[in-house]
Amino acid sequence: MVRFLNGEFVEDGRKAAVSPDDRGFLFGDGAYEVVAFYGGRPFGMEAHFKRFHRSLSELRIDPPDPAELKRLAPEMVRRNGMEGQDCLFYVQCTRGVAPRTHYFPDPSVPPTLYASVSEFNRPIEPGEKGVSISLFPDIRWLRCDVKSINLLPNVLARQQAREAGSEEGVFVRDGVVTEGTHSNLFAVFPDRLSTHPSNQLILSGITRATVLKICSEMGLAVEERAITRRELFDAREVFLAGTTVEIMPVVEIGGRQVDRGRPGEITGRIRRAYLETVGAV
């Protein structure tokens, strides 16, 4: 697969080499984004790159020109022969290559920009049948609004969830449900939908924003409010939202069924509307 690294396209991706002194390798000092292409058409690309710019700015890393990224993404899709296909564009930027010290390197050190494209194996069957999730203590740092490449807590929770037979690990901080390892969470109650407020404790997802818009258009009441762990078990429906999970019904939480243990009506309506929005149907 073709990779992009610091201004050059590397035809054999296995030959794309990053220095061991790169701060992304040494410190996880960087940020990333993932944009889904449906049938060769990107969804939410501008919003993703806007968030990428914000993440890097919060980390005080000079972000790449958004116009450059908008040109790069479809070019990478073309070079990898994925025009007209479902695929994922990944982009990552680190603080660059410098001697290992905790403080920032000299400002003249250029950031490292890397990008790749991969096949998007959409979660069609899980999206129709629903999945189980497991709950874990939220041990992450307090800037989850930054899409940092520092993902060790997410990796550990996702692995624990997999070992428990669950599709996703969902974090709980001080009794409050925050989000999944790579998704946002919504709970459906009799009179409203609830999801965690967009603040420093979650990554405000592009799919999350799309769901909020869909709910508004459908006349569904949504409350951005912290949901307690106890409340989550009383929800009539629960679903995950994210670029790679799309809209995924949750039918079981830690071994306990959600309502009747099958995808709910509201989740189904939102999922259909989302798939229409991204052009997947």
Which positions are annotated as active-site residues? 147
DSSP-assigned letters across all residues of the chain: --EEETTEEESSGGG----TTBHHHHH--EEEEEEEEETTEESSHHHHHHHHHHHHHHTT-PPPPHHHHHHHHHHHHHHTT-TTS-EEEEEEEE--B--S-SS---TTSPPEEEEEEEE----HHHHHH-EEEEEEE--S-S-TTS-BS--HHHHHHHHHHHHTT-SEEEEEETTEEEEESSSEEEEEETTEEEE--SSTTS---HHHHHHHHHHHHHT--EEE-PEEHHHHHH-SEEEEEETTTEEEEEEEETTEESTTTS--HHHHHHHHHHHHHHT--
Report the interhelical angle of 265-278 vs 206-218 (nearest 10°): 110
